[in-house]
Chains A and B, each alone.
Chain A
Amino acid sequence: MVENQRDEGGTEMGTSVRTQAEKTANEQQTQKLNGSQIVLRALAEENVDIIFGYPGGAILPTYDEIYKMGIHHILARHEQGAIHAAEGYARVSGKPGVCVVTSGPGATNVVTGIADAMIDSLPMIVITGQVATNVIGTDAFQEADVVGVTMPITKHNIQLRDVNDIPRVMKEAFHIATTGRPGPVLIDLPKDVSTAIGEFKYPKQVHMPGYQPTVQPNRLQIKKVAAAVERAKKPVILAGAGVLHADGADELFEYATKQQIPVTNTLLGLGSFPGNHPQFLGMAGMHGLYAANMALHECDLLINVGARFDDRLTGSLNYFAPEAEVVHIDVDPAEIGKNVETAIPVVGDAKEALKSLSALDKAPVPYDEWHQHLRHYSDDYPLWYNDDGKTIKPQALLDMVYEETKGEAIVTTDVGQHQMWAAQYYRFANPHRWVTSGGLGTMGFGFPAAIGAQFAEPNRDVIAVIGDAGFQMTMQEMSILQELNLPVKIVIVNNASLGMVRQWQELFYEERYSHSLFPIQPDFLKLAEAYNIKAYKIEDPSEARATFQKGLKEDGPVLFDFRVTADENCYPMIAPGKGHHEMEGIRP
C-alpha cells in the first residue's frame, strides 16, 4: 500500500513535470493570455523596443501589463507629444513608431500626429484604447469614434472585436505600416477585448489579397526611362522622401553620379543625396534654390523618384516643367499622374528602380553644357542675407548650427521660416538626419520629434530647431528631457512672432499683422529652469557661436533662446500662383 502510494505519488510528480515541459514547448506556439498581453507580445515579436504613450481609463489593462512586463515606455505630457516623438523615432530609425493612448480625448489628441505621419508616409502603429464593446455607441464616458475619425488619415485602421483576432491584426498592421508606401495604422482596442482571454499564436505570414504593393518595377518601363535619359539633353532628378523610405540613398548616388544627372531634392527628400556634392542643385520648391527651380523649369527630362509633386514643390502647375518629359517612379500608383501628367510611369520601390536603372549599364552622356548652365545659376544666385552685425540673422544662425555640428547632427523642425532656413542652410549630407513636418506643416512637431529621434540615435547630436510659437505648443515635453536627462539641444529661433505668417501678411496682406506677433514672450530661461534644463539666452551676434559651442558640449539637454532679427523674411520665394521661373528675392 505504502509503496503503491509512493508509486502513485511518483507518477503524479512525473506527469506534472512532463506537463510542465510540454507546456513550455507549446508556449512558443499557443498560450492563453489576455488581450493586453497578446498586444504586447505581438509588439515584442515585431521587435518593438520603445513605446511612446499616455495612459487612461480604457487602456489601463494594457498599461498594467506594461508595468508588469517592464516594457520600455516613454511617458509624454500630452498625447500629441507622444505621437510626434514616435514619428521622430520612425523617421530616424526607419522602424515603425509605436504610440499607445487611451480612448476618447487620448485618441483625438493624436489625430494631428496621425495626419502628419500619413501625409509624410511614416510607418506608425497607433494603439488606442476604446470603451468596452457593450457600451460602444452609447456615448459612454471617454468614447469617440476613433476609427471613423481617423479613416481618412490612416493607411488602414481597425477596431478589434475578438481577442483571438489580435495576433493576426497586429501582424497585418505592421505589414501594412512598413511595406509599400509606409503609413500609420491605427488599432482600436476596446477595454473588454484587452482583458478577454485568448490564444497567442503569432502568424508567420499575412494573407491580404486586397493589399499587394508592387515593389519590383516593370522592366519595360525601366528601359523606357533609360532610353529617355539617352535622348535627353537637359535631364534632372528630383528625389523625394520615397528614396529615404526605400533606403535607396546609395542607389540614388550611384545612378545619378554614373549618369552625371543633376539632382534636386524635395523638402522631405533632403539627405537622400549629399548636400555638398557638385551635382546637387539644392532643394527645389517654394523656398528652394533658384538653380534647382530653374533646372526644373528648363529641363527636358524630369525624373521624379519618390516625390509626390506637392504644390509647395511645383508652384503653379500651369508653369511646371513646361518642356519636360516626366518620369515618375513611385511605389504608390495613385501618386502617378495625380498632379502632373506623366510620360513614363514606373510603379515600384525607389531603391529597386534605381538599382535596375544602374544595372542597365548605359554609357553616361556628359551633359556638359547643361551642367555649366546650371552652375551659372548656382554661382550667380546663391542664398543670401544682409548681415548688419547688430542682430542675430536667422540665416546666419542656421549656417552656424550647420558648421558647429559639421552637418552630422539630426535636425528636427516645426513648420515655417525656421524650417525653411534649416532646409536651406543645413546641407544634409546623409539620410535620416532631417526630421520635419512637410506635408501637414505641423506646429509643435519638431520638439517632441527630436525626443523620438534621440531615442532612435542615442549617440548622435539631436538639434530641435523650433520657432518660438511652435515651441509653445508642445514645450511641456521638456519633462521627458528632465526625467531622462536626454541630451536634445533646443535651438529656439525666436523672432517673437509667427514668422511665416507675418511674412505672408507683409507680402500679401498689406502688413496687417493680424494676431501673428507675440509682444510678450514667456521667459524661456525660467521655463527651462523649472524643468531643471540648462538654458542660454543669446541676443548679441558676437556671442552666438561661443555660447552654442559651449552648450553643445553639455551632456544633458540645453535650451538656446536665440533672439533673432524679428522682421527677416525667408527668400528666395515663389509667390502663390507663380511658377518656378518667377521666384522673388533671388538677389539682395
Chain B
Amino acid sequence: MKRTISATVNNSTGVLNRITGLFSRRQFNIESITVGMTENPEISRMTFVVNVDSDRGLDQVIKQLNKQVDVLKVRDISDENIVARELALIRVVATPQTRGEIETLARPFRASIIDVGRESMTLQVTGDHQKVEAFIDLIKPYGLKELARTGTTALKRSSKKQSQDLHYSFIQ
C-alpha cells in the first residue's frame, strides 16, 4: 500500500543520505521523495511516498525514522486531510500545426507553456499524482521528447477534519 509520510528534519549535512540509507537497508521502497527548507532555514521538510506491504512495515518505517537524532517529527499523513502536489515539466514535439491543439489540451489542466521552440514546446503541470499522470497520457501521442517529474510534496490542510485515527500504533 502506498503511504505518504511527512517528516521535519534538521537541515544538516548528510541528513538526506542518512534517511534514504535507512530506507534502503530496511528494504522499504521509496516511490518518491522531496526535500526542501521550511520557514525555518535550520529545518527541512521531507515528503516520502513509500510502498509498504503491511501495517507493521509502516510502523517500522515511522519508528526507525523517529529514532534518527536529526529527525524532529514524523507523521503518516495518508489518511489525513492534506494538500499534495507534484510538478512535471514536459517537452513535447510541437509543430506550428499542433501548437494550438496542445495549448487547448493544457487549458483544462491549468498547465502552462513555459518554453516554445521551432519543433517543440515545454509545458509545466502541477497537481496531484493522478492529474499529472492524466495530462502526460494525453500529451504523449504528440511525441514526448523529455520529461522531468518531482515527487509528491504535501502539507496538512489548515482546517482539521480528521476522518479516522492514526494508522500506526506509534507510542512514545
* 15 A-B pairs whose Cβ atoms sit less than 8 Å apart in the complex: A147-B14, A148-B14, A152-B22, A159-B13, A210-B10, A210-B69, A214-B172, A332-B67, A333-B63, A333-B170, A334-B63, A334-B67, A337-B56, A337-B59, A345-B171
Given the interface pairs A209-B72, A218-B171, A345-B171, the reply to whether A151 lies near B67 with Cβ below 8 Å is no
Closest 4 CB pairs of A and B: A334-B63, A156-B69, A211-B69, A210-B72
Instruction: Say whether B56 contacts A334, CB under 8 Å.
Output: no
Per the bound structure, the CA–CA distance linking A136 and B18 in Å amounts to: 19
Interface residues on B, range: 20 to 34
In the complex, whether A166 has a CB less than 8 A from a CB of chain B is no
Q: How far is the CA of A148 from the CA of B20 in the complex (A)?
A: 12
Q: Are B172 and A333 in contact (CB-based, < 8 A)?
A: yes
Indicate the member of A156, A210, A347 with the most B CB atoms within 10 Å. A210
Chain A 291-312 interface mask (CB, 8 Å, partner B; 1/0): 0000000000000000000000
**In the complex where A151-B21, A210-B10, A210-B69 touch, is A337 in contact with B64 (Cβ < 8 A)?**
no
- Which chain B positions have C-beta within 8 A of A211? 69
A410 at the interface (CB under 8 A from B): no
Q: Which residue of A lies closest to B55 (CB)?
A: A337
- Whole-angstrom distance between the Cβ of B35 and the nearest chain A Cβ: 16
Which of A152, A155, A161, A214: most chain B Cβ within 10 A? A152
Mask for B10-50, Cβ within 8 A of A = 1, else 0? 10011001100110010000000000000000000000000
Contact with A along B153-172 (1 / 0, CB 8 A): 00000000000000001111
A333→B69 contact, CB < 8 A = no
Docked complex Cα distance between A556 and B10 (Å)? 51
A120 to chain B, nearest CB (A): 17
A residues less than 8 Å from B72 (CB atoms): 209-210
Residue B68 interfacial (CB < 8 Å): yes
Contacts of A147 in B (CB 8 A): 14
Does A347 lie within 8 Å of B63, measured CB to CB?
no
Q: Is the CB of A336 within 8 A of B171?
A: yes
- The residue of chain A having its C-beta at the shortest distance from the C-beta of B10 within the complex is A210
Nearest chain B CB to A209 CB, angstrom units:
6
Q: Are B70 and A210 in contact (CB under 8 A)?
A: yes
A152-B25, A210-B69, A334-B66 known; 17 new pairs, CB 8 Å cut-off, are A147-B14, A148-B14, A151-B14, A156-B69, A159-B13, A161-B13, A208-B69, A209-B72, A210-B71, A332-B67, A333-B171, A334-B63, A336-B171, A337-B56, A337-B59, A337-B60, A347-B171
Number of residue pairs spanning A and B whose beta carbons lie under 8 angstroms apart: 51
Asked if A354 is at the interface of the complex by the 8 Å CB criterion, the answer is no
Q: How far is the CA of A540 from the CA of B166 in the complex (A)?
A: 67
B25 CB contacts on chain A under 8 angstroms: 152
Q: Is the CB of A345 within 8 A of B69?
A: no
Which residues of B line the A interface, CB within 8 A? 9-10, 13-14, 17-18, 21-22, 25, 56, 59-60, 63-64, 66-72, 169-172
Q: Inside 8 A of A148's CB, which chain B residues have their CB?
A: 14, 17
Chain A stretch 195-239: residues in CB contact (< 8 A) with chain B: 208-211, 214, 218, 221
CB distance from B121 to the nearest CB of A (A): 40
A152 near B21 with CB under 8 A, answer: yes
A7 vs B71: C-alpha distance when bound (angstroms):
63
Residues of B within 8 A of A214 (CB): 172
Bound-complex Cα distance A336 to B22 (A) = 18
**Chain B, residue nearest A208 (CB):** B69
For the complex, give the distance between the alpha carbons of A347 and B169 in Å: 12
Q: How far is the CB of B8 from chain A (nearest CB, A)?
A: 9
List chain A residues, Cβ under 8 A from B171. Answer: 218, 221, 333, 336, 345, 347
Contact between chains at A151 and B172 (CB < 8 Å):
no
Q: Taking CB as reference atom, which chain A residue is nearest B14?
A: A147
CB contacts (< 8 Å) of A334 on chain B: these are: 60, 63-64, 66-67
Q: For the complex, is A587 an interface residue (Cβ under 8 Å from B)?
A: no
Tell me, in angstroms, the Cα distance from A176 to B70 when the chains sit together: 12
Tell me if B56 and A176 are in contact (CB < 8 A). Answer: no
List the A side residues contacting B14 at CB < 8 Å.
Answer: 147-148, 151, 159
C-alpha spacing A147/B70, complex, angstroms:
14
A356 to chain B, nearest CB (A): 16
CA–CA, A347 to B63, complex, Å?
Answer: 12
Write the A311-338 contact mask toward B (1 if CB under 8 angstroms, else 0): 0000000000000000000001110111
Give the distance to chain B from A552, nearest Cβ to Cβ, in Å.
Answer: 44
| Residues of chain A lying within 8 A (CB to CB) of residue B22 | 152
Least CB distance from A448 to B in Å reads: 27
Query: With A and B bound together, what is the CA distance between A496 and B12 in angstroms?
Result: 51
With known contacts A218-B171, A333-B172, A345-B171, A210–B13 Cβ distance under 8 A = no
Q: How long is the Cα–Cα vector from A160 to B25 in the complex, in angstroms? A: 26
In the assembled complex, how far is the CB of residue A436 from the closest CB belonging to chain B, in whole angstroms?
Answer: 25
Min distance, Cβ B68 to any Cβ of chain A, angstroms: 7
Please name all residues of chain B whose beta carbon is closer than 8 Å to the beta carbon of A161 when the two chains form the complex.
Answer: 13
State how many angstroms separate the Cβ of B6 from the closest Cβ of chain A.
15
| Residues of chain B within 8 A of A159, CB atoms compared | 13-14
Closest CB-CB distance, B44 to chain A, in whole Å? 12
A333 touches B56 (CB 8 A): no
Task: Please measure, in the bound complex, the distance between the C-alpha atom of A161 and the C-alpha atom of B14, giving whole angstroms.
Answer: 13
What are the residues of chain A within 8 A of B17 when measuring CB–CB?
A: 148, 151
Tell me, rounded to whole Å, the shortest Cβ–Cβ distance linking B66 to chain A.
Answer: 7
A332 to B170, CA, bound (A): 11
Measured CB to CB, the closest approach of chain A to B130, in angstroms, equals 33
Chain B residues whose CB sits within 8 angstroms of the CB of A337 once the complex forms: 56, 59-60, 169
CB distance from A304 to the nearest CB of B (A): 15
> B14, B21, B69 — which one has the most chain A CB atoms within 10 A of its CB?
B69
- In the complex, how many angstroms separate the beta carbon of B168 from the nearest chain A beta carbon? 10
| Cβ distance A181 to chain B, nearest Cβ, rounded Å | 9
Q: How far is the CA of A5 from the CA of B95 in the complex (A)?
A: 96
Residues of A within 8 Å of B59, CB to CB, are: 337
**Residue from B10, B18, B69, B170 within 8 A of A176 (CB atoms):** B69
For A332, the chain B residues whose CB sits under 8 A away are 67
Tell me the complex Cα distance, A322–B17, Å: 40
Closest beta carbon of chain A to B22's beta carbon, Å = 8
What per-residue 1/0 map shows which CB atoms of A253-269 lie under 8 Å from chain B?
A: 00000000000000000
Distance to closest chain A CB from B12 (angstroms): 8
CA distance A585 to B63 in the complex (A): 40
In the bound complex, CA of A338 to CA of B14 (Å): 26
Bound Cα distance from A210 to B74, whole angstroms: 10
B14 to chain A, nearest CB (A): 7
- Rounded to whole Å, the gap between the CB of B123 and the closest CB of chain A is 38
Contacts of B169 in A (CB 8 A): 337, 345
Within the assembled complex, what's the spacing in Å between the Cα atoms of A347 and B172?
A: 7
